């Protein structure tokens, strides 16, 4: 029986065209800078984001952790929202690899304003021998808040405030193309307000591997060094770079289809006990607390009926729309999800 996979946009599979690009890739040992596809991808992305240089990374986590390492020293502080991936999922890595203190904002929507930064700066001593705030880490789109687009005017204000206070800005832009498609803005529009920015090839863009970090030349020389330190010294990476290049040159515009499907999913799961985000991009968050059931139990029941979802926390169930599902799948899966809701309601 068919499975409807809404767990994550990381679960996509390479298409036949992408597999052809992988098969035909011109590879060399990137340890010697000889991998043509990887060099081509890095040049293409640096240009697209209007940054001096780019470094191909094994994963979004590697991009983020390398960025932290580039901008901070052991014991420095990073201001971040508690909901962002670097805190919520990578907290251990940030402390163990980055050796930084994450000073977390608790915003209601994942959008950090200058007032939130000031509040964090005043939350503890930073003078004299105390920790120094070196980095503001932002996320766009915001995964935990249903793929919310980080407004560019707020990003500009944050960036300008940080610049005048000696704080660098890292933008975890793993889903930045979703933000671009939703707003009509260009990647370089967002990148101008970040000292480093990342992009994932293996989420909505449908590639099998990798992420890229962009920034100024000197920082990217450091990023290449720390990638190696973190075990990411690449050799015939062109197979993966060719897939990534295919993803970023073919699969951006189609993200609109995923965004429309996210809206459709919310529309079709009609239940006033469930609180949904109003999806701006490809992520649907369902707060099922009022159903009186925990996210893991709800997800298990849906899985029995071949709909795969992700339990984000105790009561939040996440569905991500991507290449894995088309409009008909959304219609069929929503019927199944509605039947699970009815089952839980009748048990009460």
Ligand X SMILES: Cc1ncc(COP(=O)(O)O)c(C=O)c1O
User: What residues line the site for ligand X (CB under 6 A)?
Assistant: 10, 59-61, 64, 85, 139, 143, 172, 174, 200, 202, 211
Pick 89 or 344: Cβ nearer ligand X: 89
Pick 94 or 211: Cβ nearer ligand X: 211
Q: Residue with CB nearest ligand X?
A: 60
Pick 59 or 107: Cβ nearer ligand X: 59
CA 78 to CA 333: how far, in whole Å?
A: 40
Rounded to the nearest angstrom, the gap between the alpha carbon of residue 55 and the centroid of all alpha carbons in its chain is 17
CA 164 to CA 77: how far, in whole Å?
A: 17
Pick 200 or 334: Cβ nearer ligand X: 200
**Min separation Cβ 210 and ligand X, Å:** 8
Where would I find the beta strands (DSSP E) of the chain? 4-5, 53-57, 77-81, 101-105, 133-139, 168-172, 196-200, 211-215, 275-276, 283-287, 307-308, 310-311, 316-320
**Min separation Cβ 134 and ligand X, Å:** 20
**Min separation Cβ 172 and ligand X, Å:** 5
CA 36 to CA 27: how far, in whole Å?
A: 6
Other CB atoms within 10 Å distance of the CB of residue 171:
26
Taking alpha carbons only, the member of 249, 238, 211 closest to residue 227 is: 211
CA 146 to CA 320: how far, in whole Å?
A: 9
Pick 181 or 293: Cβ nearer ligand X: 181
**Min separation Cβ 347 and ligand X, Å:** 33
**Min separation Cβ 199 and ligand X, Å:** 10
């Amino acid at each position: 029986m068919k499975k409807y996979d809404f767990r994550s946009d990381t679960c996509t599979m390479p298409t036949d065209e992408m597999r052809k690009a992988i098969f035909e890739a011109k590879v060399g040992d990137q340890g010697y800078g000889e991998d043509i596809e990887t060099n081509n991808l890095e040049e293409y992305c640096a240009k697209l984001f209007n940054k001096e240089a780019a470094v191909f990374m094994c994963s979004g986590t590697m991009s983020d952790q390398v960025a932290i390492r580039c901008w901070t020293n052991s014991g420095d502080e990073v201001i971040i929202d508690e909901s962002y991936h670097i805190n919520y999922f990578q907290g251990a890595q940030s402390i163990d690899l980055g050796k930084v203190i994450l000073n977390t904002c608790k915003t209601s929507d994942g959008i950090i304003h200058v007032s939130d930064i000031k509040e964090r700066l005043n939350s503890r001593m930073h003078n004299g021998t105390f920790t120094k705030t070196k980095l503001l880490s932002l996320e766009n789109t915001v995964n935990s808040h249903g793929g919310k687009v980080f407004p560019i005017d707020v990003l500009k204000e944050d960036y300008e405030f940080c610049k005048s206070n000696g704080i660098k800005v890292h933008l975890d832009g793993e889903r930045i193309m979703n933000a671009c498609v939703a707003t009509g803005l260009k990647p370089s529009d967002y990148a101008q307000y970040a000292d480093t920015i990342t992009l994932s090839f293996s989420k909505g863009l449908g590639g099998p591997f990798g992420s890229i970090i962009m920034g100024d030349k000197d920082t990217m020389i450091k990023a290449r060094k720390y990638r190696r330190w973190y075990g990411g010294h690449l050799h015939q990476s062109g197979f993966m770079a060719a897939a990534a290049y295919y993803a970023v040159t073919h699969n951006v515009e189609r993200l609109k289809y995923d965004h429309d499907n996210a809206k459709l999913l919310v529309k079709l799961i009609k239940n006033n006990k469930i609180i949904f985000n109003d999806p701006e991009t490809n992520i649907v968050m369902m707060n099922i607390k009022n159903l009186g059931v925990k996210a893991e139990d709800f997800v298990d029941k849906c899985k029995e009926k071949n709909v795969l979802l992700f339990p984000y926390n105790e009561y939040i169930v996440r569905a991500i729309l991507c290449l894995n599902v088309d409009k008909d799948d959304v219609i069929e899966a929503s019927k199944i999800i509605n039947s699970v809701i009815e089952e839980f309601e009748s048990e009460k």
